[in-house]
Amino acid sequence: EAQVTQNPRYLITVTGKKLTVTCSQNMNHEYMSWYRQDPGLGLRQIYYSMNVEVTDKGDVPEGYKVSRKEKRNFPLILESPSPNQTSLYFCASNPLGGNQPQHFGDGTRLSIL
């Protein structure tokens, strides 16, 4: 089954404790991205990657890092999480060529205390 898998689905942690949210897709898509979703603000892109070893900032990259060492994986790293990063996070992927919709994971709800 074609899917985007995120882990963990839920995490409660404390300020300053490094965490990583993993994202993996099995569709051989070149393009992957991370979004955060907050009430009243919709989906905002954090980082994206157009292929292995190529990453770029989205609209709200501050406080986040990503890496793309393999085509299928695109982890999101919070080196020193803060309470304003409490949010619902989505990973998405799509092929690069032509106009095609994104495939989203089921989300990771992070609470930073």
Q: Which region among 13-21, 22-30, 42-50, 64-72 touches other proteins (by CB under 8 A)?
A: 42-50
- 37, 63, 65, 73: which one binds other proteins (CB under 8 A): 37
Torsion of CA 85, 49, 107, 94, to 10 degrees: 150
Q: In what order do the strands lie in the sheet with 4-7?
A: 4-7, 19-25, 76-78, 65-66
Pick the piece of the chain touching other proteins (CB under 8 A) from 21-29, 65-73, 76-84, 88-96: 88-96
Nearest-CA neighbor of 86 among 7, 6, 14?
14
Structure tokens at 57: 């900032």
Residues between 43 and 62 that touch other proteins (CB under 8 A): 43, 45
Residues that bind other proteins (CB under 8 A): 4, 37, 39-43, 45, 88, 90, 92, 94, 99-107, 109, 111
